[in-house]
Amino acid sequence: MFHIRNVVLWKAILLTGFCAAAIFGLWWWGLVRSPGIQVQARAQDSLVLMERTIARELTRAETTGLAFGAWWAREQGRLDDPAKLQNVISFLEKGAIITNLILSREDGDSACIVRKDGEWNLVLFRSGRNPRRYQVEKGRWVPGPMNDRDVYDARERHWYRFGAAQAAPAWTPEAYRYFTSVVGGFTYTVPVRNAQGKLEGVIGVDVSLEELTQLLWEHQPTPGTRMMVTDSGNRLLVPPRAAGMHDVGTRFAHHLMVLPSGFFEKLGRGRMNGHVADASLLDSDRTYLAVNGAYSETGKPRMNLHVAIPEEDIFPGLGRRRIFTFVLALGAVLGVAWSLLDLHRRVMRPMRKLAKESDTTANADLNPDFDTDIWEIQQVGQRLRIAGRAAEERKRLLSHVEHSQRVDSVGMMAPGIVHDVNNQLAMVLGQINLCQTVLEAHPELQPRLRAAEGAAIKCTEVLRGLLDFSRPDPGRRELLSLNASVEGATALLRRVLGSAVRLEEDLARDLPLVFGEPVKLQQVLVNLGLNARDAMPEGGLLTFRTFRVEEKACLEVKDTGCGMSEDIRQRVFEPFFSTKEPGKGTGLGLAMVANIVAAHGGQIEVESESGVGTVFRIEFPLSLRKRNEPRDECRQLDRT
C-alpha cells in the first residue's frame, strides 16, 4: 500500500526530469547540432565546387596541350617564326590557371610563352641560348626587349625528362618549383614523336599554384572560410585566404610547405579551434566546422581538399542565442518543478489530512475491499461504501416506487444519452479519419480503419433510430440566435469532417432571433454537414451562411461536392430513400431534417447540379412561440 504523497512526489520528479530532457534536447538540437549540420553541408557543397573547378581547369590545360601537339605535327615542329605561333594567344586565354606554355625540340630549340605581370610574353631559344623576346600587342606578337643573359635548356628540366619518358601525354605526379622562380605548380607534358616513333620534342603546359589559389579564393562561400589544397605528401598547394596570406611573398613561401603531421586529421573531425594550427592558416579565436575530401581522377594529379567554415559566418550571434535560450529553457524547467510542488502543497496535503480525519470515525468492524492501493483513497472508499449501504436500505424500502420511477427515467434519459453517445462517436470518427490520413503510407492498416469507421457509423445510425422512434420528447423552445447554433455545430463538425474538407462561415450580424429547440437545430446542421462530407470524398469547401430576408432568418448550407440529378433531388426528403451503398445509410437523415424544420414552422429547399455542388436553404419564421410561454420571458439578447 502506497501513500498518495509518495506517489505524487515520484511522479512529479519523473515529469520534471522528462520536461527537462525534452526542453534541453530541443535546445541542443536546434542551436548546437542543427547549425553544425547546416555549416557542414555548406562546407561539403564548397568541396564539390572545388573539385569541379580544379577538374575544369586541368581539363582545359590538357586540351591546350593536345591542341598544340596536333599543331606541332602539322607545322613539323618549326619554332623559329612567331607568326606560326599566332594562334597560341586564343588558346592561352581560355585556361584560367595556365601560366606557361613551353614547346621544346629534342635539339634544344624552345618556344616559351610566359605570363608576366598579367601579360603574355614569347621567348624563342636556339639550342637553349640567344633568346628573342616578343610581346602581345593588339592580338599579335611584336618584338620586345632583349636579354642575352637568358639561358634555358628544356632538356635539363624535370618536366621535359618526365614527358620524354612517357608514351602518352601525362601530368607530372607532384608539384615542383618552376625554373628560376619561386612559383610552383604542375606541368602537363605531351611527347611528340615522328612516324618512326622517335622523340622530336615535348610540349609542357604549366598550371601555376598561384593562379589556382586565386581562382579558388574567388569561390569561397563566406569571408571567413578557409579553403586549402594539399598533396599526398601533406605539402600545401593552395593556402587559405587568411590575413597573413595577402602578401605575395608569404603566399609563395607557403606553397609546397609541409604541414604538421595530423593537422588535417584533426580538422576533418568536424570542430577545430585555430590555436592548434599555424596562425597564418586559421584564426586562433574562431571555431571551424570542416570537411576533407580528395580530388582523384585517372591520369591527373591527386590533391587533398579541405574546407573549414566558421559558425559565426553562417549564424551570426549564435553563441549569444545559445546562452539566452539555455536560460529560458532552465527557467521553464524550474517553472514546471515549482508548479508540481505547488500542486502537492495545495491538493495532496489537504487530501491526506481529510483521509486521516475520516479514519478516526471509521467503523472498526468494516472490512472494505475498495479497489486501490493508495491509502488515502481507500479511506474515502470506505466512507463511500458505508454511505452506499445506507442507500441500499432506503432503496429496499422504496423498491415499488423506484420501479415505476426507473421506467419513466429511462424514457426521459434516452434522448440525452443518445445525444451524448453520438457526440463521442463523432469524436471517434474524427480520430479514425485522422489516422487514415496519417497512415496513408501503410495500406495494410487501411482496411482495419475502414472497418472501425463503418462500425462507428452503424452505431451512430442505430442510436439515431432509437432517438427518433423512442417516446416523443416535446422539448423546450427558447429565443435563440441562429448564428450561435451554426457556430456550435461547426465547432463539432471541424473535428469530424477531416482535413480534406475546408469549412467556412458567413454569418449576418443583423440576424433576428428565432424561437426553436437548440438540440434539434444542432441535429439539422450536423446532418447537413455530414451529408456534405459524404458528397465530397476527395475534399472540398463547406459553407454555412446566414442572412435575413424581410422578417425571416435564413440559413444556407453549400458544398462543392458531386451534386445530385433532378430525380434524386425531388426524392431527397423521402424517408428511407438513400443513394449510398447498402449498410452505409438508413435514408432517415434528410427526412428527419425536413420534419424538424417543419416542426419549427420553417421551409427547406434544395438546389443541386451534378458535378457542381448542392445548396440547402432553410427559412425560419420569427413568430413561432410556445403558447404556454409568456412573451415577456423572452429576452432580446443576441448571443452572437
Residue ranges per structural domain of the chain? 1-360, 367-397, 400-469, 478-633
Angle, CA 141 vertex, CA 137 and CA 143 arms, to 5°:
95
Residue 26, amino acid: L
Highest mean pLDDT among 27-36, 607-616, 624-633: 607-616
Q: Which three cell numbers stand for residue 466?
A: 432509437
Q: DSSP character for 260?
A: P
Q: What is the mean pLDDT of residues 401-419?
A: 56
The per-residue DSSP string of 612-636 comes to: TEEEEEEEEES----TTS-GGG---
User: What pLDDT score was predicted for residue 398?
Assistant: 61
Say if residues 24 and 325 touch (Cβ distance below 8 Å): no
Q: Is the pLDDT of residue 632 over 50?
A: no
Q: Is the pLDDT of residue 365 over 50?
A: no
User: What pLDDT score was predicted for residue 210?
Assistant: 85
Which of 29-33, 138-142, 371-375, 498-502 has the weakest average pLDDT? 371-375
For 520, other C-beta atoms within 10 Å of its C-beta total 20
User: What pLDDT score was predicted for residue 618?
Assistant: 92
Q: What is the mean pLDDT of residues 143-172?
A: 83
Give the integer Cα–Cα distance in Å for 534 and 614: 12
User: What pLDDT score was predicted for residue 262?
Assistant: 66
pLDDT band at 42 (very low <50, low <70, confident <90, very high): confident
User: What pLDDT score was predicted for residue 545?
Assistant: 93
Q: Is the pLDDT of residue 280 over 70?
A: no
Give the integer Cα–Cα distance in Å for 462 and 459: 5
CA-wise closest residue to 308 among 226, 372, 384: 226
Q: What is the mean pLDDT of residues 282-303?
A: 80
Q: DSSP character for 471?
A: S
Which H or E element spans position 273? strand 271-273
pLDDT band at 274 (very low <50, low <70, confident <90, very high): very low
**Pairing between strand 501-506 and 540-549?**
parallel
Burial of 630 (0-12, 13-18, 19+ CB in 10 A): exposed
Edge to edge, the sheet with strand 540-549 lists 501-506, 540-549, 552-559, 613-621, 603-609
Say if residues 17 and 353 touch (Cβ distance below 8 Å): no
Q: Is the pLDDT of residue 544 over 90?
A: yes
- Report pLDDT digits (tens) over 316-332: 766 677 787 888 888 88
Say if residues 460 and 427 touch (Cβ distance below 8 Å): no
pLDDT band at 406 (very low <50, low <70, confident <90, very high): very low
Listed in sequence order, the residues at least 6 apart from 323 whose beta carbon sits closer than 8 Å to its beta carbon are none
User: What pLDDT score was predicted for residue 29?
Assistant: 75
Contacts 24+ apart (CB under 8 A), 582-586: 583/454, 583/458, 584/454, 584/457, 585/461, 586/461, 586/464, 586/465
Say if residues 114 and 123 touch (Cβ distance below 8 Å): yes
Residues of the chain above pLDDT 90, percent: 7
Q: DSSP character for 513?
A: P
Phi-psi region of 468 (alpha: psi -120 to 50; beta: other; left: phi over 0): alpha
- Report pLDDT digits (tens) over 422-475: 888 888 888 888 898 888 888 888 888 888 888 888 677 657 655 654 444 555
CA-wise closest residue to 507 among 543, 545, 474: 545
Residues of the chain above pLDDT 70, percent: 71
Q: Is the pLDDT of residue 377 over 60?
A: no
For 261, other C-beta atoms within 10 Å of its C-beta total 8
Q: What is the mean pLDDT of residues 264-282?
A: 51
Q: Is the pLDDT of residue 541 over 80?
A: yes
Q: Is the pLDDT of residue 354 over 60?
A: no
Which H or E element spans position 449? helix 446-469
Q: Is the pLDDT of residue 239 over 80?
A: yes
User: What pLDDT score was predicted for residue 2?
Assistant: 60
Q: DSSP character for 502?
A: E
Give the 3-state secondary structure of residue 424. Answer: helix
Q: Is the pLDDT of residue 543 over 90?
A: yes
* Choices 3.30.70.270, 3.30.1490.150, 3.40.50.1820, 3.30.565.10: CATH for 478-633: 3.30.565.10
- Report pLDDT digits (tens) over 77-130: 667 667 667 666 666 665 445 678 888 888 888 888 877 776 778 888 877 666
Backbone torsions φ then ψ of 176, nearest 5 degrees: -150, 165
Highest mean pLDDT among 138-147, 333-342, 375-384, 610-619: 610-619
Q: Is the pLDDT of residue 23 over 60?
A: yes
Give the integer Cα–Cα distance in Å for 172 and 179: 15
Give the integer Cα–Cα distance in Å for 229 and 231: 7
Give the integer Cα–Cα distance in Å for 284 and 624: 86
Q: Is the pLDDT of residue 52 over 60?
A: yes
Give the integer Cα–Cα distance in Å for 110 and 103: 6
The per-residue DSSP string of 195-254 comes to: TTS-EEEEEEEEEEHHHHHHHHHTT-SSTT-EEEEE-TT-EEEE----GGGSSHHHHHHH
CA-wise closest residue to 175 among 183, 166, 184: 184
Q: Which three cell numbers stand for residue 591?
A: 427526412
User: What pLDDT score was predicted for residue 268?
Assistant: 44
Give the 3-state secondary structure of residue 341. Answer: helix
1-360 CATH: 3.30.450.20
User: What pLDDT score was predicted for residue 628?
Assistant: 39
Greater pLDDT, 191 or 377:
191
Phi-psi region of 228 (alpha: psi -120 to 50; beta: other; left: phi over 0): beta
In the predicted model, what is the mean pLDDT of the chain?
Answer: 76
Beta bridge partners of 541: 502
Phi-psi region of 539 (alpha: psi -120 to 50; beta: other; left: phi over 0): left
User: What pLDDT score was predicted for residue 363?
Assistant: 44
CA distances from 247 to 241, 242, 244, 280, 397 (A): 11, 10, 7, 11, 110
Strand blocks (E) in 562-628: 603-609, 613-621
Backbone torsions φ then ψ of 391, nearest 5 degrees: -65, -35
pLDDT band at 1 (very low <50, low <70, confident <90, very high): low
User: What pLDDT score was predicted for residue 356?
Assistant: 61
Say if residues 271 and 288 touch (Cβ distance below 8 Å): yes
Give the integer Cα–Cα distance in Å for 227 and 43: 9
